[in-house]
Structure 1
Amino acid sequence: MRSPVDLATAAGRRRAYGHTLICLAVLLCAAYLARRHWPTLETGAVRLAVADQEWLLVGAAAAVGTWAASALAQQGAVTRRLPGPRLVAAQFAASAANHLLPAGLGSGAVNLRFLMRCGLSAGRSAGALAVKATAGAGVRLILLAVLAPLCPGLLRVPHISPALLAGGLVAALLLAVLLAGPLRRRCRRGLAAVRADIRAVHTRPARAAALWGGSLAFATLHALVVIAVGRAVALPLSPLQVALLYLAASSAAALLPTPGGLGSLDAALALALTAAGAPAATAASAVLGYRLLTVWLPLLPSLLVLAMLVRRKAL
């Protein structure tokens, strides 16, 4: 029979092997993503090499600020005080995980695990993520409603064919059928829990201010990254126009479950900028620059932070 010391040593070795495998998996994911999108990285680097470096630095500073804004919004979504440095590190790590899984699943999984490690139950953690997502969507709608009248005629309702409209109606009907019965009751209970969490947060003005202020800062800073990169590559559109187009394109891309919006956001934003009158090459450079500052340059460091948080059992 093995002694307790031997058992503890074996358990420690298993944990060490597990942590090593996690680190290797993280590095392999980084190498796979870089290899898969290497033409994008190379082309973007060449085009941005002659861009205005000062504006690129402004964009990089705004990109760094998005993680702090995300941490502020996440703190505002819960009544319990969270550890600040680890919260920011978790948002940085979540940005990497968000580019590995579609529809925000990676970011949600990291934040869910982080909140549970901070002592929240699984239900409360999921509710906090729902509160944060609701505030983020609300802020985007408000910004769109405010900016659209300031840029009249910039956003156009796309032409929808009768076949596509009929398909949408059929999909809505099927969704209504699926939501009937037990699933419908489960959705109602989930929405009731989210409403209760929202009310609890808004009973504390400091938490409500953090939730909405962080959500507003997050959306604004992402728009500022696109504006700064656009200025760097001489995009012939005003800052308000670029911000409105980014918010509209990112909202549309959120409907497509691609990892981190890769592909969907790029196409939607490039198309929106081109339709607004920007040259195609300049619009492509702006989108590539935005992706370099928000995805590719922080990818490896954020993956390493993710592995570190897992190793230290913060996730």
Structure 2
Amino acid sequence: MFVEKDGIQVITAGDIDEEDVKTSMENGIYKGDRYTAFEINCHEEYRSFLVVTGKKSNTHLGQEDQHWINLIVTYLSASLENVYLIRKLTLKMYELMANIPNEEATPEFVWLRKTMYDIQEKERIRIAMDLHDTTMQDLFLLKRRLYPILQRFPKMTDEYGQLTGILTHIDLINENLRQSCFELNPYVLQKTGLVGSIRKLVDVESSYSEFQVEFIADCTAQIELLEVERKKHLFRVIQELLNNAKKHSQAEHVTIRLVEENSIISLFYEDDGVGFDPQLKELNRKNRIISGAGIGLDQMQGRVLLMNGEFYMDTERGKGVQIEIRIPFLEGISA
């Protein structure tokens, strides 16, 4: 469990009531009849705990149990400290990437920015391939083995209904995994192009999101002449815009427009959500540099700068978000 300034995150395993644990921790109850919390780390940003349930025999944890749990906590403390430091370093790297245009950066820094996104993209592809080649195939084999068992039961029996429900749930898991693979590795970019991939992404997001998404594309033939890697950067930017909208905007309507004009690719985003205070440090027309706006915006700006583009944003609390991104069609550094 991670207790942060903006809420509590719980990672569970086994038979444990997540909401009950959250309520107990919010009320400052670290030891009770049902749960016992052992503090792992304490930082300004967060505190972490190992929360264990009571024994099934309803007896208290003995001295030997406490000894082993304290040993586990010691190992967790060292591991989470390393994860915490790596995360802080990563966040700082993305912030730097978002704040230094190519023309102001050294060649080494431009190379580092490009390499960071290369590594990130390769890792996403690796995870997508692992999911496809292992988890999805395992589910496919499981489904094939369950079908003969299903045929042994007469229809309208409880057993038949339960197995049918399990098979339906396997299909749902496979569909979710297929969507995750697409988001990790948008393979259709090469088959259907950038606009087709965005439409597929928007269709899926519209079915899962509480807001309506409108996507408009003009001059699509010219847009599809972009290199595949630059298309991938634009796809990732739109993906992050939709993710941010789902997590934070509370919007009812989101509009995304992609157009090419005078050798400039322009991406416009607008929502009618709650907006936020981006704490703008600089408002020059070249790049609006944003401080403390989160890793999502940092990553978007870093990708835009990687292509020698310009990023403009207009937002304030209660008035939604408007973003304009301009990418030179024949210039930029592809990753």
Structure-1-length-normalised TM-score:
0.25
Q: Which structure has the highest strand share of the two?
A: 2
Which one scores higher on RCO, CA 8 angstroms, separation ≥ 6? 1
Structure-2-length-normalised TM-score:
0.24
Greater Rg over alpha carbons, structure: 2
